[in-house]
Amino acid sequence: MLASRLTLPLLVAATLAALPAAAAPEAPPAPDLAPLVEAALGADVEAADAAVAALRDAGQPAVDALLAAVRTRLGLLATLPGRAYDRYDAVLDRVAGQRLARNTGLYWFTDLERAEAEARRTGRPILSLRLLGRLDEQYSCANSRFFRALIYSDPRVKERLRDGFVLHWEPVRDTAPRITIDLGHGKVIERTITGNSAHLLLDAEGRPLDALPGLVGAATFARWLDDGVALAKAVAPGPGGARPARTLAEVLTERREALMSHWQAELAAIGVRVPKTLVELRGATGPRELELLAGRRAAGARLGAPARSLVEASQPPDARLAATLAITKARVETPMLRVVSNVEADLARDEVTNALMLHAQVLSWLAAAPRTDRRTLVEAIYRDLFLSPLDDPYFGLRDPDVFTGLDPAPDVAAGPVLGEPGR
């Protein structure tokens, strides 16, 4: 063990020396990551920590190598205690920068400057997730948990994220609001109670091109990613820095009009008189219309096989057993399928709200002010669309008009809101 501690710094230094420089125009040959992978999965904690840090600096190739090694070892774990699985997952998550990374195999930057350098090197746009809490921790906001468990793991989405984007995430708040219910006798329920996320499409200089607020299904998210790649290419400078043929405002205006036309057609299909303006469209889409429009999106919001498996695995053992015992009953009566149906119904409703109503507003903002910086856009999304102002220390949850019979909660400092200066 002592020998491994003495030699590992040299191993890390040698491997890091072979890693690509962040802003290099061309990637050098990939380093041999096998020794670091073995050290990261080994029993020597100090050596493993150093190897994980080196693998984290190696980016997506390190995630690929580590995931392959873990999968090779899975067959050997049948006789090992469950904590062995947990340890391998923990190592993979630390390197990838995402909890449940075994389901996606994706690498996420947490430093935007490094993400921008990678975007310049690869010619890819940046997909920047803004969320409450951290993507590599369990109690991030609900939307981010749904995305990493059910959407990023979908093969259609996973392929597009890996091959078409530089991935980055950043908290807008360090933690998501959380509630703990103490039932006594050691029984505790802990849940997040609010929180939303938004995906920003950025160019290689970190300038916003588009943003998708909230949660949507995998099919809709995949289409938005395709549109994002096309948008980034359309407004990218030409050879020698030549001005693009179309401005960002022109492209976004066209997309807003197309989205509003789709929204109008959807309302007409459920018997609603077609409104003309964005304000009228929002006013015509009340709770009844929302449910009817969600029903029209039910097929597109269905979970893929990987997501369904994850939902099933998350259910308690008695629910999974009931699902196998109820095979002769109507499928909707099984507990697991009820959960899947509930998730899909929620996704369909969220899609109407987010992909139609809120996204149309984002397109309007950016078309009117295409030079909007990231900070301004993120603050507007949380304040005006999510109704959760980032400068409110209680995040919209404290209602002074409600009597609780409890002592008043002391005022608390708002703390950090955004982790970056505006650009």
Identify the pLDDT of residue 110: 97
Query: Is the pLDDT confidence value at 372 over 70?
Result: yes
For the chain, the structural domain boundaries read 1-96, 248-385
Identify the pLDDT of residue 331: 39
Per-residue pLDDT band at 413 (split at 50, 70, 90): very low
Per-residue pLDDT band at 27 (split at 50, 70, 90): low
Condensed to tens digits (0 to 9), the pLDDT of residues 210-249 reads 999 999 999 999 999 999 999 999 999 888 778 888 999 9
Q: What is the average pLDDT across 322-340?
A: 48
State what percent of residues in the chain have pLDDT above 90.
Answer: 52
**Which strand (E) or helix (H) includes residue 125?**
none
Report the C-alpha dihedral over residues 166, 167, 173, 179, rounded to 10 degrees: 170
Nearest to 284 by CA among 294, 296, 274: 274
Q: Work out whether strand 166-173 and strand 126-132 pair parallel, antiparallel, or are unpaired.
A: parallel
Query: Is the pLDDT confidence value at 410 over 60?
Result: no
Residue 366 to residues 72, 258, 360, Cα–Cα distance (Å)? 47, 15, 10
Who has greater pLDDT, 134 or 420? Answer: 134
Nearest to 223 by CA among 293, 145, 164: 164
Query: Is the pLDDT confidence value at 8 over 80?
Result: no
For residue 170, count other CB atoms closer than 10 A to its CB. 21
The top-scoring range by mean pLDDT among 80-89, 120-129, 323-332 is: 120-129
Query: Is the pLDDT confidence value at 328 over 80?
Result: no
Are 339 and 303 in contact by the 8 Å Cβ rule? The answer is: no
Residue 333 to residues 289, 328, 337, Cα–Cα distance (Å)? 27, 10, 7
Residue pointed to by tokens 């929180």: 195
Condensed to tens digits (0 to 9), the pLDDT of residues 286-327 reads 999 999 999 998 888 888 777 777 776 666 555 444 444 444
Whole-angstrom distance between the N-terminal and C-terminal Cα of the chain? 48
The DSSP code for 202 is: E
> Exposed, middle or buried by CB within 10 Å (0-12, 13-18, 19+), for 253?
middle
Nearest to 100 by CA among 303, 302, 310: 310
Query: Is the pLDDT confidence value at 74 over 70?
Result: no
Q: Which long-range contacts (CB under 8 A, 24 or more apart) does 397-403 make?
A: 397/177, 397/193, 397/194
Are 61 and 33 in contact by the 8 Å Cβ rule? The answer is: yes
Query: Is the pLDDT confidence value at 382 over 90?
Result: yes
Contacts of residue 56, defined as CB under 8 A and 6 or more positions apart, other chains included, come to 62, 94, 95, 97
Who has greater pLDDT, 28 or 132? Answer: 132
**What count of Cα atoms within 13 Å lies in the side-chain half-sphere of residue 279?**
0
**Which strand (E) or helix (H) includes residue 231?**
helix 218-234
Pick the range with the lowest mean pLDDT from 182-191, 359-368, 406-415. Answer: 406-415
| CA atoms of 67 and 70, how far apart (whole Å) | 5
Contacts of residue 127, defined as CB under 8 A and 6 or more positions apart, other chains included, come to 161, 165, 166, 167, 168, 199, 200, 201, 202, 225, 228
Identify the pLDDT of residue 5: 36
Q: What is the average pLDDT across 398-411?
A: 62
Identify the pLDDT of residue 344: 82
Nearest to 7 by CA among 42, 56, 57: 42
Query: Is the pLDDT confidence value at 407 over 60?
Result: yes
Nearest to 128 by CA among 104, 92, 102, 97: 97
How high is the mean pLDDT of the chain? Answer: 81
Condensed to tens digits (0 to 9), the pLDDT of residues 239-295 reads 877 888 899 999 999 999 999 999 999 999 999 988 889 999 999 999 999 999 999
| CA atoms of 54 and 19, how far apart (whole Å) | 9
For residue 422, count other CB atoms closer than 10 A to its CB. 12
- β-strand partners of 245: none
**What count of Cα atoms within 13 Å lies in the side-chain half-sphere of residue 147?**
28
CA 78 from centroid of its chain's CA atoms: 32
Residue 63 to residues 102, 159, 228, Cα–Cα distance (Å)? 9, 15, 25
Q: What is the average pLDDT across 28-46?
A: 82
**Which strand (E) or helix (H) includes residue 207?**
none
Q: Give the 3-state secondary structure of residue 199.
A: strand
